[in-house]
Amino acid sequence: MSTGFALDAGLVLDAGLAALVLAVAVGAIVAGTAFAAVVGFVTYGLLLALVWVRLAAVDVALTEAAIGSGVTGAVLIAAAARLRPAEARSAAERPGVPLRLAAAVLSALVAAGLAMLVLLPSAPAPSLGPAAAVHLPELAIGNPVTAVLLAYRAIDTLLEKIVLLLALLGVWSLAPDRFWGGAPGQPHAAQQDGALALLARLLPPVGIVVGVYILWVGAVAPGGAFQGGAILAAMWILVMIAGLRDAPATGGRRVRLLLVVGPAVFLAVGLAGFVVADGFLAYPASYAKPLIIAIEVVLTLSIAVILGLLASGPPGRERQR
């Protein structure tokens, strides 16, 4: 913000980005086919990740790119391809004009109300930034977002892990009984050559290093368990899609333990807080940092396995015993 020109250039970039996000979003809603809509949505996610960088939220940008756009996009694209035969028929069931009109008015009202509030901000804008900053030295954690996720609001993060596990069990619950405990879906045909196979061979070693690095720097710089876990999961999904490795059986002992180990360790440390600190999810003063890092390491592992399996769908093969 040193010169007026730089400020203007930044603003032009922001205006262009905002317009592009909106245009892509409109495109995704009005697209002729579901497939085109999903491709639009993935683009939308990547553009949003750029917006997050512009909003000084690199942690969120990483999460959005990996999960919001990447893994979500993979799930939606696969679904759009599978559902293509049914598309014309269900697209024909458009609601009548009165309902569409009512929905348009309602949506416009909501958008207008929000726009009004954006234009009338409360001054000065409230912030918990200072409060969050004050306690960072006690935790010896440099990244305030990690401090919020694993200390100040740790109960949210813990409950959200249970949400993830229940979503996975919900996905599995849709399998036919005979496949229970088996591996998800059909095995992908191994692709020995072609761009996908090449990508699946080249990218994972790099991706795993990046994922572990992002987990590791999460304590001091943008990064952490979610972001690292999501990148590891993305690499795993790529390898599975290319057919280089098959998905594991959902009933396997090792898979189950990997799923729950992160939340279980988190919960155990939280309960230990009753005894050694000031209550549930409190860390003893000088052990905060090592405990938070230990929790993050196991959480990353569980998150990667949960996300990868969520994207793989319900068991679709009989269990090999």
Partner 1 sequence: MPPAVTLASAATAGGFLLVLAIILPAAGVLLALAFGRHAERIALLLMPAGFAIAIAILADVWHSQASLVAVMGGWAPPLGIALRADGLSAMMLVTTALVICAVGLFARGDFGMPAGGGEARAPLVFWTMLMGVWSALNAIWLGRDLFNLYVALELLTFSAVPLVCLDGRAETLAAALRYLLFALVGSVLYLLGVALFYGAYGTLDIGLLAGRVRAEPVVWVSAALMTAGLLAKTALFPLHLWLPPAHAGAPAAASAVLSALVVKGSFFLAVRLWFDVLPGLPGVPAAQALGTLGAAAIIFGSVLALRQERLKLLIAYSTIAQIGYLFLLFPLSTGAAAAGIWGSVAWTGGVYQLVSHAIAKAAMFMAAGLIGEALGHDRIAGLGGIGRALPMTIFAFGLGGMSLMGLPPSGGFVAKLMLLTASVTEGQWWWAVVILLGGLLAAAYVFRVLAPALAGADEPLRLCARVSRRREAVVLALAVGALLLGLLPLRPSELLQIGRPAAPTAIMR
Partner 2 sequence: MSAETLYGLCAAALVGLGLFGSIVDPQPLRKILAFNLLGGGVFLLFGVIARRGAAAGMAADPVPQAMVITGIVVAFSATALAVTLLLRLFETTGQATLRTGAPARPDPDSDRAGS
Q: Contact residues for partner 1 (CB under 8 A)?
A: 110, 113-114, 116-117, 120-122, 125-128, 131-132, 135, 138-139, 151-156, 158-160, 162-163, 165-167, 169-170, 172-177, 180-181, 251, 256-257, 259-260, 263-264, 267, 270-271, 273-274, 277-285
CA distances from 8 to 3, 22, 48, 53, 121 (A): 9, 21, 21, 18, 22
DSSP-based three-state secondary structure for 158: helix
- Report in angstroms how near the CB of residue 318 gets to partner 1 at its nearest: 13
270 interacts with, out of partner 2, partner 1, none, CB within 5 to 8 A per kind: partner 1
- For residues 155 and 190, which CB has a smaller minimum distance to partner 1 in the complex? 155
Task: Identify how many contiguous H helices and E strands the chain contains and give both numbers.
Answer: 13, 0
25 interacts with, out of partner 2, partner 1, none, CB within 5 to 8 A per kind: partner 2
- Report in angstroms how near the CB of residue 209 gets to partner 1 at its nearest: 30
DSSP-based three-state secondary structure for 249: coil
User: At 148, which amino acid appears?
Assistant: V
Q: Is 8 in the site for partner 2 (CB under 8 A)?
A: no
Structure-token pair, residue 105: 């008015």
Separation CA 231–CA 200 (nearest Å): 14
Q: Could you count the other beta carbons within 10 Å of the beta carbon of residue 249?
A: 19
89 interacts with, out of partner 1, partner 2, none, CB within 5 to 8 A per kind: partner 2
Burial (Cβ within 10 Å: 0-12, 13-18, ≥19) of residue 150: buried
For the CA atoms of 158, 164, 168, 170, what is the dihedral angle to 10 degrees? 90
257 interacts with, out of partner 2, partner 1, none, CB within 5 to 8 A per kind: partner 1
Q: Which of residues 168-227 bind partner 2 (CB under 8 A)?
A: 168, 170-171, 174, 226
User: Which residues 6+ apart lie within 8 Å of 244 measured at CB?
Assistant: 190, 197, 200, 201
Q: Which of 155, 160, 256, 268 binds partner 2 (CB under 8 A)?
A: 160
- For residues 96 and 279, which CB has a smaller minimum distance to partner 2 in the complex? 96
Q: Is 157 in the site for partner 2 (CB under 8 A)?
A: yes
Which x/- pattern, by CB under 8 A, does the window 52-81 give for partner 2? x-xxxx-xx--xx--xx--xx--xx--xx-
- Report in angstroms how near the CB of residue 151 gets to partner 2 at its nearest: 10
Using CB under 8 A, count the residues that bind partner 2: 93
259 with 168: CB under 8 angstroms?
yes
- For residues 197 and 260, which CB has a smaller minimum distance to partner 2 in the complex? 260
Q: Is 34 in the site for partner 2 (CB under 8 A)?
A: yes
Q: Which of residues 9-28 bind partner 2 (CB under 8 A)?
A: 10-11, 14-15, 18, 21-22, 25-26, 28
97 interacts with, out of partner 1, partner 2, none, CB within 5 to 8 A per kind: none
* Sign of the dihedral through C-alpha 41, 42, 48, 52: positive
- Report in angstroms how near the CB of residue 23 gets to partner 1 at its nearest: 22
User: In this structure, what are the phi and psi dihedrals at residue 315, rounded to the nearest 5 degrees?
Assistant: -55, 135
Q: Which of 2, 3, 5, 125 binds partner 2 (CB under 8 A)?
A: 125
- Of 71, 19, 11, 79, which Cα lies nearest the Cα of 45? 71
- Report in angstroms how near the CB of residue 300 gets to partner 1 at its nearest: 17
Separation CA 24–CA 39 (nearest Å): 10
